[in-house]
Structure 1
Amino acid sequence: MESIEALIAHIQGLSASVEDISHLHNLLKLAEESLQSVAPRLSSFLGQLDPAKHSLGYLYILEAYTSAPIAREHPSEFLVSISTFISSCLAEQIRLAPDKFVSVCKRFKDQVLLLQEPLRGIAPMRTAVQKLQSSPEHLTALHPDFLLLCLLEKSYKTGLGILKEDIFEIDQPRDFFLYCYYGGMICIGQKQFRKAMELLHNVVTAPMPTTNAIAIEAYKKYCLVSLILNGQFSTTLPKYTSSVAQRSLKNFCQPYVDLAYSYSSGKISELESCIEINKEKFESDNNLGLVKQVVSSLYKRNIQRLTQTYLTLSLQDIANTVQLNTPKEAEMHVLRMIQDGEIFATINQKDGMVSFHEDPEQYKTCEMIEHIDSSIQRIMTLSKKLSAVDELISCDPAYLAKAGRERQRFDFDDFDTVPQKFNL
């Protein structure tokens, strides 16, 4: 145990300056095996360190300690110790060993799930994400775990906060798939279908060498959200989608493709028949609630079509035309659509007539101007980032060498303009 005690002394003495931290990091790397060998007994050593001052050393000890099985009587103590460390640690130190920090945080998340107390993990994991991020645009390995906890707790608004940031840096493809999938589900929970569709679209069209389960599940929800938001779904994916996704995704999701086809008929009876046939599949996928919203959206689409033909219409006629059972049901649908801004109408309760109006928006209010300006600023920022990435790629020797080889194969007329040699 003397070597561990000596290591603790090094941690206490070498955690102040950048040079000392670098030296300490080398010592910690060399001590990894010995730390693992005494993992169950490291708890007492953690008490000798301050997580706010000795963050890097504390992280190495904590990671080794948490690698051992947790005693059944100590799960709460385990969560408290990691939660305290996450809130106290210095970001600049833990980023020197990001894999260990991620490992500790994932064990924390696993224990929270084992106890079925996702709420306990949400705030610490949000802090962990912020400390691990090099910038707000950086997607860490902890983003999906944080979103999963928000989903399980149904704390959708908390999850939305992290989804507002535009992501441009990604460490691992799987993290991106899960981030967009869980993020899409959170947006669905808040009925923010446009953002949900954007995130699910990212999963479906992302590069993938082989079909993966996340993309398949995302495709199912992507189909349903597309029907709710746009009233249609195309099985033809954009050209930049991987050939694997183009070929196989819809084959794994045939009931959903059939649902979209039934929806396109505009007939509630056809849609409900398709749902009844595939009900077990939708239930096993945990998508039946979303499927019911698809049915509701078809009623809305059919009512919206009436506004393009009629100026006034009775609730009874609306019910008959869109296949609702009673005028009262028609009234409830129309009221919800008016409240959501999906149609512009007034209902005369006395005679049961609905009068449809034009969109009153003149696009000249201060709020609308601010909204347009915000959209323009975001597009300009994105344009600058794309230009920077394009410039970076165009100067990358590996890219230039590959581009030169490809051009030699396919573009003989311009061959002379391709550099023959590169100083790599």
Structure 2
Amino acid sequence: METAEALVVQIQALSGSAEDVSHLHSCLKQSEELLRQPTSLAPFLDRLDPSKHSLGYLYLLEAFTSCPISKEQANELILLIVRFVNSCNAEQIRLAPDKFVSVCKRLKDQAMLLDAPIRGVSAMLTAIRKLQPSSEHLTTLHPDFLLLCILAKCYKTGLHLLEDDIFEVDLPRDLFLYCYYGAMICVGLKQFQKSLELLHNVVTSPMSNLNAIAVEAYKKYILVSLIHHGQFSTAFPKYTSNVAQRNLKNFTQPYLDLASSYSNGKISELEMFVLSNKDKFELDNNLGLVKQVVSSMYKRNIQRLTQTYLTLSLQDIANRVQLNSPKEAEMHVLKMIQDGEIYATINQKDGMVRFIEDPEQYKTCEMIEHIDSSIRRIMALSKKLTAIDECMSCDPLYLAKIGRERHKFDFDDFDNVPQKFNT
């Protein structure tokens, strides 16, 4: 206890200048064995200010939270970690990122243990911002934050983080989970296009072995494609890994069969297929999405009618789309008009629907601002990609790999090529 006492005094004395904090970091590394001894560190934490003594507080807190925690103690632990995350000094905690991540992951675990994921959402977002060197950096806390948002149904909070453009990734698994959880958040907000982009990233990411995240992402990719586009292509982009192209279809056959049944356009057959495979979809926690797929078929069939007819009665729409009544057809049409999926007017008096052209002329101030914003973002992304390409071309590991590959060629013949072109 006297040694721990001395360590606390040292933390208090060496938490001022950057030079002192660097020296403190070395001392804390040497004291890790002491911190792992079965003694109560809570009294020592009370003597430190998390905003001033952030690095030392982090070492003690990480050791304190590494001990088994009961459900009764979880509530106090959450409050302790949240207080630290909100007040800690970002520069100090970045000296020991692994320990900071470890503490934050325990916050997530305790919040889930208490079945109160919302208690970790705000603090986890703060932790990410303090850990990130820039908003373009994907940390290992990103997936944990998005998972908490899903469980707490804080979809808009999660979407705020997904708006960042990510260019730097430490661990591939973090990217897989980030895109997968992010896609689920977008589905919750009915932002299906963004969801498809994220799922596409998972399915087409480089991988040497097929992983469970990619399999689950491919299942959802099929379902969201049907909901949003009304179709699904089994062809993979050329840049998809060979492992994914060879194996993904073997683990997702019921979903591919669902897409095949959907393409027939017959709602009764689709409903029968879903009913016969309900247990499989339910086991994958995808039954809700599958039901949305079935519902979207009504929309697709109504959209097809707009390509053929200028006017139709609600009764005709109900008959052609296999709805139970004109009233149900009216509800579907109204919802599609509201969502901007079709352009039509309904005459309540005679029950007729008149389909019209897209009224958007692309010349309003709002549309011009949207287009201008998109152009500026694309230009910024183009500059960033150019910078990354230049950085990669100077990377020693990349140059070494290129150098090894050059040895595969016959350089005598290679040197003669320009002469042949010159003649």
TM-score between both structures, scaled by the size of structure 1: 0.95
Which segment drifts farther, 307-316 or 267-276?
267-276
1:169-184 correspondence runs (5 A): 169-184=168-183
Taking the TM superposition and a 5 Å limit, the aligned residue runs for 1:157-172 are 157-172=156-171
Q: Which amino acid aligns with 1:282?
A: F
Alignment match, 2:24? 24
What is the CA deviation profile of residues 94-151 of structure 1, one whole-angstrom value per residue up to 9, with x for unaligned ones?
0110000000011111011111111111111111111111111111111111111111
1:144-168 Cα offsets, whole Å, 9 max, x none, are 1111111111111111111111111
For 2:324, the equivalent position in structure 1 comes to 325
**Residue identity in the other structure for 1:25:** H
1:308 Cα deviation (Å)? Answer: 1.0
My pick for the range that moved more, 203-212 or 51-60, is 203-212
Listed as ranges, the matches of 1:1-400 within 5 Å are 1-38=1-38, 40-400=39-399
Secondary structure of the structure 2 residue equivalent to 1:145:
helix
Q: Distance in 2 between matches of 1:70 and 1:220?
A: 37
Q: Work out the CA distance in 2 between the residues paired with 1:281 and 1:81.
A: 42
SS at match of 2:407: helix
**Match for residue 421 of structure 2?**
none
* Whole-angstrom CA distance in 1 between matches of 2:127 and 2:257: 43
Q: For residues 376 and 111 of structure 2, what CA distance do their matches in structure 1 show?
A: 40
d(CA) in 2 for partners of 1:131 and 1:120?
Answer: 18
Q: In 2, Cα distance between the equivalents of 1:190 and 1:414?
A: 59
| CA deviation vs aligned residue, 1:54-91 (integer Å, no higher than 9, x gap) | 00000001001111112454222111111100011001
Equivalent pair of 2:71/2:114 in contact (CA under 8 Å): no
- Once residues 271 and 414 of structure 1 are traced to their aligned partners in structure 2, the CA distance between those partners, rounded to angstroms, is 61
Which consecutive unaligned segments of at least 5 residues does structure 2 have? 417-423
Distance in 2, Cα, partners of 1:166 & 1:249: 28
1:329 deviation in Å?
1.2
SS in 2 for 1:372: helix
Alpha carbon RMSD of aligned pairs, Å?
Answer: 1.4
Aligned partners of 2:183 and 2:199 also within 8 Å: yes
**Amino acid of the structure 1 residue aligned with 2:21:** I
Asked if the contact 2:71/2:113 (under 8 Å) is kept, the reply is no
Deviation at 1:188, TM superposition (A): 0.3
Q: Tell me which amino acid in the other structure corresponds to 2:276.
A: I
- Cα deviation for residue 378 of structure 1 reads 1.2
* Cα distance in 2 between the residues matched to 1:398 and 1:58: 38
Give a deviation string over 1:174-205, Cα, whole Å, max 9, x none: 11111111110011001000111111111111
Query: Partners in 2 of 1:391 and 1:271 — Cα distance?
Result: 51
Gaps of 5+ in 1: 418-424
1 CA distance for matches of 2:415 and 2:373? 46
Q: Distance in 1 between matches of 2:281 and 2:73?
A: 40
**Alpha-carbon distance in structure 1 between the residues aligned to 2:200 and 2:71:** 42
CA distance in 2 between partners of 1:339 and 1:183 (Å)? 26
- Aligned 8 A contact 1:126 1:146 in 2: yes
CA contact (8 A) 2:314 2:353 kept: yes
Deviation readout 1:268-326 (Å, 9 max, x if unpaired): 12222221221111111111111111112111111111111111011111111111121
* Separation in 2, partners of 1:397, 1:77: 49
TM-score, structure 2 as length reference: 0.96
Aligned length: 416
Query: 2:164 & 2:44 partners in 1: Cα distance?
Result: 39
Which amino acid in 2 is paired with 1:43?
A
Query: Could you give the per-residue CA deviations for residues 17-48 of structure 1, whole angstroms, max 9, x where no partner exists?
Result: 1111111101001111111114x411111111
- Do the aligned partners of 1:407 and 1:415 also contact (CA within 8 Å) in 2? no
Equivalent position of 1:421 in the other structure: none
Deviation at residue 227 of structure 1 after TM alignment: 0.8
**CA gap 1:411/1:243 in 2 versus in 1, 3 angstroms:** farther
The 1:278/1:71 distance shift into structure 2, 3 A limit, reads closer
Q: Which amino acid aligns with 1:350?
A: K
Distance change (3 Å), C-alpha of 1:190 and 1:410: farther
Give, in angstroms, the shift of residue 208 of structure 1.
1.3
